[in-house]
């Protein structure tokens, strides 16, 4: 099984920053996450 580069805590922090108004572009650039991965996390973990 493939291991994630990001812990659940890191994913939660990135998504919380998004909910607090940080842009997708900024989040992906700073954290080294691709946009498709970010959108996959958002659809999986955000309501």
Whether residue 17 lies inside any domain: the answer is yes
State the pLDDT at residue 2.
Answer: 75
Q: State how far the Cα of 44 lies from the Cα of 15, in Å rounded to an integer.
A: 11
Residues 37 and 2: beta-carbon distance below 8 Å: no
State the pLDDT at residue 25.
Answer: 96
Mean pLDDT by 10 residues, the chain (47 residues): 87 96 96 96 90
- The number of domains in the chain is 1
Domain ranges, residue 32: 8-45
State the pLDDT at residue 43.
Answer: 96
Whether residue 24 lies inside any domain: the answer is yes
């Amino acid at each position: 099984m493939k291991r994630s580069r990001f812990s659940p805590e890191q994913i939660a922090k990135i998504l919380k920053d998004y909910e607090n108004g940080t842009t997708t572009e900024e989040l992906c650039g700073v954290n080294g996450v691709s946009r498709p991965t970010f959108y996959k996390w958002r659809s999986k973990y955000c309501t």
